Amino acid sequence: MVRMKGGKTGAAGVGAAVAMLFAGAAHAQSTVTLYGIVDAGVTYTNNAKGHALWQFTGGNESGPRFGLIGTEDLGGGLKANFRLENGFNVANGALGQGGRMFGRSAWVGLSGANWGAVTLGRQYNSTQDILGSLQMSSFLAQYSTHPFDNDDINNTFRTNNAVKYVSPTIAGLQANLVYGFSNSTGFANDNSWSAGVTYVNGPLNAGAAYARVNHPAVSTSGAVASDNYYPASESVFGASLGNAIRQQIWGAGGSYAIGPATLGLLYTGSNFGQATGGALRFNNYEGSLRYMITPALMAAAGYTYTQVARASDSGHYHQVSAGLQYLLSKRTDVYVNGFYQKASSGVGRAWIDGTDSASSTTSQVAVVVGIRQKF
């Protein structure tokens, strides 16, 4: 992480680049920070379309990224803030999030200690902000995500054209509100809104949130763009997640730290409205445990039960996830994780989120080893 204060330069290359981007904006009480994550490894899947698969994979624990975050003190407790965050494919260097330069985040706003923060741009919604930090994929790799990331708390899509308000924390409570404009004359055509609240008190961290997207992915300019939504190939009971005419997401959960252990519980639900044939509905129930064996070694495990239904069809998924992370330094760690999913016969096939393809049977196993460095 490289920081530059006032008009002073950091490392020569970084300083020159930032100076070009923000020329004339230097201020004695302003900061710009360059940061990022590079994460890569090898994944083994026992059954991908009927065959075992070894492959190079990136973003196993954290999506590769680099970004700039800046703050300027405007006086009187008022601050101007921005974040520009790029996502990329570490395997080939390609841009992520549909080829966007700053596909992970791109926003600017104002904040004050007494009234909170307002930000405008491409952002995470309330369910992602609040429930995403409680899901086990936040510390145990993307493969522990709920099937198809049906609740979007592993960030399948982000919200464009968004205005977000986050309140100050009062007695441990903090509110989060987001509205994404459709940017079309059909006001409710590809717009979205979300709301939630968190509560933090010592070892307890809890939250609840709701999100709704109307007519997602009908254009590239709406709140949820067509090139950054679920692929049409992800379907259950003949209903494609990517062809939904509306999506609702809700959930609540919490974690509690007891010495070196942290226990977590999370429930989420999602509803994908379809033009015909009835909505596709998911309910996800998750329990997790993190344990710091030593200050450098963490063990984690979790279990998820997912119900899925549409009209008279129903089925379920069981998934067990476990892993170890070892810190080589404050910024670098290595990891090994294993995952097993079992789908009911009604669903027909297992597909661990993050693997290349669905299994040809109702079960699938994935094992991943890798290294992650933060800067």
pLDDT of the residue at 7? 42
Q: What is the CATH number of the domain that holds 148?
A: 2.40.160.10
Mean pLDDT of the chain: 92
Q: How many domains are contained in the chain?
A: 1
Q: Tell me the torsion sign for CA atoms 94, 99, 103, 104.
A: negative
Q: Going by C-beta distance under 8 Å and a sequence separation of 6 or more, which residues neighbour residue 171?
A: none
What digits encode the pLDDT tens for the residues 261-282?
Answer: 999 999 999 999 998 889 999 9
pLDDT of the residue at 4? 41
> What is the DSSP secondary structure assignment for residue 331, as one 8-state letter?
S
pLDDT of the residue at 11? 42
pLDDT of the residue at 219? 81
CA-to-CA dists, residue 115 to 110, 165, 175, 363, angstroms: 10, 10, 11, 50
Identify the domain containing residue 103 by its residue range.
Answer: 2-374
| Alpha-carbon Rg for the chain in angstroms | 21
Which residue numbers in the chain have pLDDT < 50? 2-20, 22-28
